[in-house]
Structure 1
Amino acid sequence: MFDKIMDVLSGHDENKNMVRGKVVLMKKNVLDFDDLSASIIDNIHELLGKKVSLRLVSDVKLDHGNGMRGKLGKHAYLEDWITTNTSLTAGESTFKVTFDSDDVDDIGTPGAFLIKNNHHSEFYLKSLTLENFPGQGVIHFICNSWVYPTRKYEKYRVFFANKTYLLSETPKGLVKYREEELETLRGNGSNVQLEEWDRVYDYAYYNDLADPDKGSDYVRPVLGGSSEYPYPRRGRTSRPPAKSDANSESRLKLAMSLDIYVPRDERFGHIKLADFLAYALKAIAQVIQPELESLFDNTPNEFDTFEDVLKLYEGGIKVPEGVLKGIRDKIPAEMLKEILRTDGERLLKYPVPQVIKEDKSAWRTDEEFAREMLAGVNPVIICSLQKFPPTSNLDPKIYGDQSSTIKKEHIENNLDGLTIDEAIAQKKLFILDHHDALMPYLRRINSTSTKTYASRTILFLQNNGTLKPLAIELSLPHPEDDQLGATSEVYIPAENGVGNSVWQLAKAYVAVNDSGYHQLISHWLHTHAAIEPFVISANRQLSVLHPIHKLLHPHFRDTMNINALARQILINAGGILEATVFPAKYSMEMSSAVYKDWTFPEQALPVDLIKRGMAVEDSTSPHGLRLLINDYPYAVDGLEIWFAISTWVQDYCSFYYKTDETVKKDVELQSWWKELVEKGHGDKKDEAWWPKMQTVKELIDTCTIIIWIASALHAAVNFGQYPYAGYLPNRPTISRKFMPVKGTGDYDELVANPDKAFLKTITAELQTLVGISLIEILSTHSSDEVYLGQRDAENWTNDAEALEAFEKFGKKLKEIEERIVAMNGDVSLKNRVGEVKVPYTLLYPTGENGLSGKGIPNSVSI
């Protein structure tokens, strides 16, 4: 009764068939505690009549005086802005909006609405729901976008109903709005510095990693735009050039390091953990690392025993009060507690990594060393050995003879009675080969504090399905000249004495190679960097109404933001990555060299497995593919996920694209793909392997690869970092000494105290502390994670067939997870758990918050 009286008093006549709407948004003052005045000023604007207005847009009735755009309804306003309470936890508010009944007759069916924010502050608009539109019932508009005050925009913001149209099928009233929205997102091509309210998606080279104004030590090459240093494109910021180098973009000052531009809707959400991620990265880079460096200037920079390392997890490392105070003074208390878990006396006590939770020493076994190549944090490198001895693809005119020096006598006694030729024929020999990627950079890398090798590791597949390492080759450039080839030493397993100590060091050098390659290539280049151009091109060329935009958009969430933070804090000159992985200042340059061999089609899991010789085509096997190692957890689980994604994409795309001709004539789709190839991955534009995007199959294959990279591939190489590498002796990132030589003090120490010699060779204490702090953050699932098979909006489309296909996809993923759980409990599958008792859970579709080591988020979001 009260509502009816209020309707009459406010001029709302229930008999006039008003259209009721519900708007869900989040006010800025709830999301940004630095701007609490926003609420007061916005309320004043409300009282002065400066409200938030909405106008419905007809999908078919045209306004001939407005450029043939859809006819506009009358202004409607958010009601009760001042009196509507806002939850301080969720941050969401629900507002009523009432549209005039005349709109029903004047505009017919609304396909979009315009919104004008006349307030002082921006807000995050989640959705509009029309609850009773005549003849239509409920109409959903999924918005999920920041709406800034109208003074920041040249045009009203437009949001479309959750319908899906190819451009050629778009109702006439929406065509202009569809085209204009994409024009806004593309920007005008000017090089004016972009501001936080801008919504421009554009491309730039990686010319913002260097800091030449800071000195010669911070000069780095521009990545992208040249045959010497090819690279995927990153999002444009248009900051002014550095003073000392016009080709380098100037850096943000450290105090503003979180304000690097990305389109506003690409920024992290308001959930605490997402914000904490950004601030924690900043704290490590700007406060914790410098304070620890000052500490280690005055104290020994070594772990002396493995017990010292374990103190990181069991008791924490004491530091002088002055250093702790220096950190406390610069980091809020709550954040300090979250990052460092300090009790006031101790600092840097970390969660126990899974690799040492059940057994403190099993990580040192040969079995675990080999198993992690199949089920660890970097299971995407190991290959079948096709030829013995291993060969090199490096140009002999530049690098001389780089052939392997591993000989038959090194390994033939450990092949269960087989000859090498027989073992190769039976596909029982495998190789972890980091030789060619490292050798061109090794002389320069070893001119720094790093002292390491390029490595090759030969392994044998035993009858129980596990791998046994047979030999490790460690190589250096010839001391006189690169053209003279490599100098190499071969090491074989030994169970006791100094031979075992040498073997343990040889495995550590391999782990150092693999750790750096993993972080720079498998993780950063092949997921983070490779996927960003797809994010940019999709937002520039595919309307939110487009079916492929709706398909791919969840898999782009937060990627531009985490990559921007990485450029500012992690992969920049002098950043955390250079300080904690062995290539140091040559890290990104080395990743550029590897990008030269990157191809998009080979990112498909089946293609990758066949290329690496880990699988062969077999029509009698599931999915037409037979693995050479049946118990290869990454591949077994990955193939199930891959084909589930492929089926989902096929079901979805086939609903909108009935024929190849539909693909060819889809203007937006063709513009997207052309720009992606020619600009996004522009240094690869002339490669013949790019799909031509002329058939439905090419579209399905392309979208499947994109989703695979952004979701499962990234999960496989990211979320195992802390479980396996949180204990640095298992996966050291730096080696500081070469292999000890007989007759030297280092060799004598290796004989007398092998553990101390091992720890003095691998990552030092300072880099260990900083590195563990970093990977703990990067291995953490946030509380607002959206996993594969999930969407953050229930009504993301109104097409029933698409929703049914998506539900089918979700059910398939649940079945896959149940099978993975069962396999992890099968004791005959020895590679799934191993001696360390760490089950392979990285490709569980669903996950848990925190350091769970399980779950596939939809996107590269951390």
Structure 2
Amino acid sequence: MVDYIVTVYTSDLAFAGTFNNVHIKLVGTDGVSNRTWLLGLKGPLSFYKGAVSSFTVSCPVSIGKLILIEIEGQPLITFFTDNWFPAKVEVKSPEGDTYNFPIYRWLTNSEVHRFREGTALRVFEDTHDLGKYSRNEELKERKEDYCWKEYLEGTPHCMKSEDPLDLPDEVQFSFTKTTEFGYTAATGLSALGLSGISDSTENWPDMDTLNRVSCCKLTDILEYVQKHWKEDAFFGYQFLNGINPMLIQRCSVLPNNFPVTDDMVFLSGQHSLADEMEKGNIFLCDYKRLDGLIPNIINGMKQYLMAPLILLHKTPDDQMMPIAIQLKQTPADDNPIFFPTDSEYDWLTAKIFVRSADFNEHQLNVHLLRTHLLAEVFAVSLLRNVPMVHPLYKLLVPHTRYTLQINNLARGLLISKTGIFTKFAASGGEGMKTILKRSLSSVTYRSLCIPDDIADRGLEDVPNFYYRDDGLQLWEIIHRFVQGVLNFYYKNDDEVQKDTELQTWISDIFEHGFLSQPSTGIPESFTTVAELVKFVTMVIFTCSGQHSAVNTGQFDYGGWMPNNPVTLKRAPPIKKGTTSENTMLRTLPDINTTVQGMSTVWLLSRQSTDSVYLGQYPEEHFSDKMPCKLTKDFQGDLQVLSAIINARNNNLKVPYTYLDPKVIENSVSL
């Protein structure tokens, strides 16, 4: 007889343990062990939360190199079947070899569950019959569990599930996440001190009242926003380092529909637009995706959402200053161009309309579509088409954590017919559908890759652009890590081309994420290792850094409503000199709309205590030594970047923290 020492690690997640009888079967290249009941000295506590328990499985002779294990849980007579979350199983063979079997999923029934040994195998090198059978059966089950669904025509497809509980257990929130998210959602109004006014459909009577209700739960940045939101320098700063740094671009030729002249913006005659554009000092933000939308009806009143154009000038002291704002796309007598030299409230009202447009553009295009919806596509395609033993699965599965459930909740609570966004945002309803369709049609592969995107927008040398500075460094760190891992598994381009699972993954993404549109530049297949490395880098960056950049600061910049109005309820002025503080107050959203907007961005900015941050991998999917070494190098590089960011932020009035690896979650989980 020969003995195999089996060590079972149960996760320390809440309720991860089980009192079930657990049986195991070892499957090797030369044979199979008997189905063995794992009964140890700890008895029923062998598989308690956080337990590590060892057992002996005896065989008449060695069964060779281990390929997989079969685990089966059977309820005790006096107990019902309870769920179990084993982290991993280690098996030490009589030859002295140690085999790792990563699991990291809920086992919720008494069926036989098969798990492969942790050494990554691509499909063409998985040659053992039992291994191939297990691989095929896993993908067959996954294709049944993870199905595509068209949520809205012209937008990325999503996971087919009507309710979070319909999702497979392995992708649902943990108990901790569920509890904290539910509590934050239920208590947001009271936490912000807004419960007593949440039903009021009145106007804000004065700015002092708005100031008083907004002072609860102030962050340092939010306090700065509240004090400086009227200032032109801060208005321009937000296009670089606020929650939507994705729209600004260098302007070399004025759009035909933005008839700004030198004497409008350079009254002293010291500059000309042509000269400043040639020097690279003129920048444009164009909200053309919002043009012609049908605005929402809120509290029985028609709302207003403009599609403005903004011209900005980089001054000699490196500030990004707005110099002209046109609130509608088509020039007309009743569509004046506003300037800093206009009256205080003409200029401030124009900026408020820009900030409201930015809220809607940011939420639907930059945040929802370009991070949440695309991350879901990447995740569903991975879970449908790539088995656990594949190196791509091991590399990417940490970046899918909670994404399917948070998106399911968003579709149910935020953008459904009765959702908060639909009810209280200017672009809710039909406008939302139009923006999402237009947004997907404008997405390109290059715009999802920050080095290409920064170059295409001409922003390589803009000063004080911390999103770019941190983002490019983060991209390079992720790229180096991905390149190291994938070059370890793919020695040449031929191996990429013949990996059918890899090709199915990208094909599904091209079809269901980008609706088979070649104009996006998204690859339909991979032909080289370099192509694969870049695309996987983009996926990880999108799910981690990019989402953090456009999500984490929502309460910082949106908690003070006038800086980020979810909607506006009066038309913009068609003639200068007709505005005042009173007209501004009547233009701002009603009290209840403001309250709903504040509580929502509060919820979306609250990370849970079980968050997993970039570079942290509590689930050990890789067993090969090289990926494990590369992971440690990756973590070291992220620590260095974090130190660089913190050192810089010490000298800034408004620190930029959203791409600090210490606050970036691995996945779109909020």
Per-residue deviation, 1:515: 0.6
What does residue 342 of structure 1 align with?
none
What does residue 221 of structure 2 align with?
355
What does residue 268 of structure 1 align with?
173
| Deviating more after overlay: 511-520 vs 537-546 | 537-546
What does residue 636 of structure 2 align with?
811
Per-residue deviation, 1:786: 1.3
Per-residue deviation, 1:158: 1.1
What does residue 536 of structure 2 align with?
703
Determine if the alignment matches structure 1 residue 19 to structure 2 residue 5.
Answer: yes
Per-residue deviation, 1:811: 1.3
What does residue 310 of structure 1 align with?
211
What does residue 209 of structure 1 align with?
none
Contact 1:127 1:140 (C-alpha < 8 Å) held by counterparts: no
Q: Aligned match of 2:181 in 269, 277, 297?
A: 277
What does residue 821 of structure 1 align with?
646
What does residue 233 of structure 1 align with?
157
Per-residue deviation, 1:533: 1.3
Distance 1:414 1:232 in 2: 50
Question: One-letter code of the match for 2:635?
Answer: G
Contact 1:367 1:467 (C-alpha < 8 Å) held by counterparts: yes
Determine if the alignment matches structure 1 residue 490 to structure 2 residue 323.
Answer: no
Contact 2:445 2:520 (C-alpha < 8 Å) held by counterparts: no
What does residue 555 of structure 1 align with?
399
Per-residue deviation, 1:134: 2.3
Q: Aligned match of 1:730 in 553, 557, 563?
A: 563
Counting only pairs closer than 5 Å after superposition, residues 718-757 of structure 1 correspond to structure 2 as 718-740=551-573, 747=578, 750-751=579-580, 754=581, 756-757=582-583
What does residue 775 of structure 1 align with?
601
Question: One-letter code of the match for 1:310?
Answer: N
What does residue 309 of structure 2 align with?
456
Distance 1:160 1:282 in 2: 42
Contact 1:460 1:467 (C-alpha < 8 Å) held by counterparts: yes
Question: One-letter code of the match for 1:306?
Answer: M
Per-residue deviation, 1:117: 2.1
Contact 1:405 1:488 (C-alpha < 8 Å) held by counterparts: no
Q: Aligned match of 1:664 in 490, 497, 514?
A: 497
Question: One-letter code of the match for 1:554?
Answer: P
Closer/same/farther in 2, CA of residues 77 and 856 from structure 1, 3 Å limit: same
Distance 1:770 1:437 in 2: 25
Question: One-letter code of the match for 1:202?
Answer: C
Contact 1:722 1:775 (C-alpha < 8 Å) held by counterparts: yes
Closer/same/farther in 2, CA of residues 440 and 80 from structure 1, 3 Å limit: farther
Question: One-letter code of the match for 1:493?
Answer: P
Post-superposition Cα deviations, 1:703-737, rounded to whole Å, max 9, x if no partner, equal: 01111110110000000101111111221111111
Provide the TM-score with structure 2 as the length reference: 0.91
Q: Aligned match of 2:85 in 120, 125, 131?
A: 125
Q: Report SS of the residue matched to 2:535.
A: helix
Distance 2:39 2:661 in 1: 40
Per-residue deviation, 1:369: 0.5
Contact 1:691 1:702 (C-alpha < 8 Å) held by counterparts: no
Provide the TM-score with structure 1 as the length reference: 0.72
Contact 1:84 1:95 (C-alpha < 8 Å) held by counterparts: no
Closer/same/farther in 2, CA of residues 136 and 543 from structure 1, 3 Å limit: farther
Distance 2:414 2:42 in 1: 42
What does residue 100 of structure 1 align with?
57
Contact 2:88 2:104 (C-alpha < 8 Å) held by counterparts: no
Per-residue deviation, 1:536: 0.8
Question: One-letter code of the match for 1:405?
Answer: P
Determine if the alignment matches structure 1 residue 77 to structure 2 residue 77.
Answer: no
Determine if the alignment matches structure 1 residue 411 to structure 2 residue 397.
Answer: no
Question: One-letter code of the match for 1:509?
Answer: F
Determine if the alignment matches structure 1 residue 166 to structure 2 residue 10.
Answer: no
Q: Report SS of the residue matched to 1:791.
A: coil
Closer/same/farther in 2, CA of residues 375 and 294 from structure 1, 3 Å limit: closer
Distance 1:544 1:470 in 2: 55
Per-residue deviation, 1:823: 2.1
Closer/same/farther in 2, CA of residues 722 and 653 from structure 1, 3 Å limit: same
Post-superposition Cα deviations, 1:772-828, rounded to whole Å, max 9, x if no partner, equal: 1111121112211111121123x43121111111211111111112222222234xx
What does residue 856 of structure 1 align with?
664
Q: Aligned match of 2:143 in 158, 174, 186?
A: 186
Question: One-letter code of the match for 1:141?
Answer: F
What does residue 329 of structure 1 align with?
none
Q: Aligned match of 1:603 in 445, 448, 459?
A: 448
Counting only pairs closer than 5 Å after superposition, residues 199-348 of structure 1 correspond to structure 2 as 200-206=145-151, 223-224=152-153, 230-237=154-161, 259-271=164-176, 273-278=177-182, 280-281=184-185, 295-296=199-200, 301-314=202-215
Determine if the alignment matches structure 1 residue 366 to structure 2 residue 366.
Answer: no
Distance 1:290 1:183 in 2: 50
Per-residue deviation, 1:124: 3.4
Closer/same/farther in 2, CA of residues 73 and 494 from structure 1, 3 Å limit: farther
Determine if the alignment matches structure 1 residue 375 to structure 2 residue 201.
Answer: no
Distance 1:260 1:125 in 2: 17
Per-residue deviation, 1:859: 0.6
Per-residue deviation, 1:278: 4.0
Q: Unaligned regions of 5+ residues in structure 1, if any?
A: 1-14, 32-38, 63-70, 188-199, 207-222, 225-229, 240-257, 315-349, 392-402, 479-484, 615-626, 827-832, 847-854
Residue correspondences, number: 661
Per-residue deviation, 1:594: 1.8
What does residue 458 of structure 2 align with?
613
Per-residue deviation, 1:587: 1.4
Post-superposition Cα deviations, 1:205-257, rounded to whole Å, max 9, x if no partner, equal: 10xxxxxxxxxxxxxxxx13xxxxx11110012x6xxxxxxxxxxxxxxxxxx
What does residue 177 of structure 1 align with?
134
Q: Report SS of the residue matched to 1:544.
A: coil
Closer/same/farther in 2, CA of residues 802 and 840 from structure 1, 3 Å limit: same
Distance 2:155 2:362 in 1: 17
Closer/same/farther in 2, CA of residues 523 and 743 from structure 1, 3 Å limit: closer
Closer/same/farther in 2, CA of residues 506 and 78 from structure 1, 3 Å limit: farther
Per-residue deviation, 1:607: 1.2
Query: Structure 1 vs Structure 2: percent identity of aligned residues?
Result: 24
What does residue 510 of structure 1 align with?
354
What does residue 103 of structure 2 align with?
143
Per-residue deviation, 1:600: 2.7
Closer/same/farther in 2, CA of residues 140 and 78 from structure 1, 3 Å limit: farther
Contact 1:78 1:95 (C-alpha < 8 Å) held by counterparts: no
Per-residue deviation, 1:17: 4.0
Q: Report SS of the residue matched to 2:35.
A: coil
Post-superposition Cα deviations, 1:253-292, rounded to whole Å, max 9, x if no partner, equal: xxxxx64522221111122x4432145447779xx99987
Question: One-letter code of the match for 1:710?
Answer: C
Determine if the alignment matches structure 1 residue 54 to structure 2 residue 10.
Answer: no
Determine if the alignment matches structure 1 residue 569 to structure 2 residue 569.
Answer: no
Q: Unaligned regions of 5+ residues in structure 2, if any?
A: none
Q: Report SS of the residue matched to 1:54.
A: strand
Distance 1:683 1:726 in 2: 39
What does residue 35 of structure 1 align with?
none
Determine if the alignment matches structure 1 residue 590 to structure 2 residue 435.
Answer: yes
Post-superposition Cα deviations, 1:480-517, rounded to whole Å, max 9, x if no partner, equal: xxxxx89521000138xxx0111111100000000111
Q: Aligned match of 2:590 in 744, 764, 772?
A: 764
Q: Aligned match of 2:482 in 649, 652, 662?
A: 649
Q: Report SS of the residue matched to 1:117.
A: strand
| Deviating more after overlay: 664-673 vs 556-565 | 664-673
Q: Report SS of the residue matched to 2:376.
A: helix
Closer/same/farther in 2, CA of residues 294 and 718 from structure 1, 3 Å limit: closer
Q: Report SS of the residue matched to 1:418.
A: coil
RMSD value, Cα? 3.0
Q: Report SS of the residue matched to 1:147.
A: coil
Q: Report SS of the residue matched to 1:124.
A: coil
Per-residue deviation, 1:583: 0.9
